[in-house]
């Protein structure tokens, strides 16, 4: 289903659906329930792969962010594939320089 069709069925604009998908805007519980109905899935399907409830801390927000941003998930996966040591440090140095510009 396209974002356009999903938006129409939820009474949202295409841009609002994009913001939800990217994690720019938060999704209310009622809108999440409505989306599950429209998509024919259970609400728990939206949380697949996230830690069990009750977990707190910085890793929770990173996990939620990663589930919403495939590029971030890919970046972390690739970083973890690099053997620990100098290569990881060089990559972090490069990312830091890029982030400043």
What single string gives the DSSP state of each residue in 71-93?
HHHHHHHHHHHSPTTHHHHHHHH
Number of domains forming the structure of the chain: 1
The residue ranking higher by pLDDT, 45 or 62, is 45
Domain that holds residue 70: 3-48+57-100
The model's confidence at residue 15, banded by pLDDT at 50, 70 and 90, is very high
pLDDT value at residue 13: 92
> For residues 3 and 18, is the Cβ–Cβ distance under 8 A?
yes
Inform me whether the pLDDT recorded for 57 exceeds 60.
no
| pLDDT at residue 64 greater than cutoff 80 | no
* pLDDT of 51 over the 60 cut: yes
**Global pTM value:** 0.48
């Amino acid at each position: 289903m396209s974002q356009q069709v999903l938006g129409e069925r939820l009474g949202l604009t295409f841009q609002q659906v994009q913001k939800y998908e990217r994690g720019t805007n938060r999704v209310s519980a009622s809108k999440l329930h409505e989306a599950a109905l429209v998509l024919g899935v259970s609400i728990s399907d939206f949380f697949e792969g996230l830690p069990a409830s009750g977990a707190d801390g910085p890793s929770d927000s990173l996990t939620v962010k990663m589930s919403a941003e495939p590029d971030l998930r890919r970046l972390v996966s690739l970083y973890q594939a690099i053997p620990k040591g100098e290569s990881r440090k060089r990559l972090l140095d490069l990312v830091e320089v890029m982030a400043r510009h």
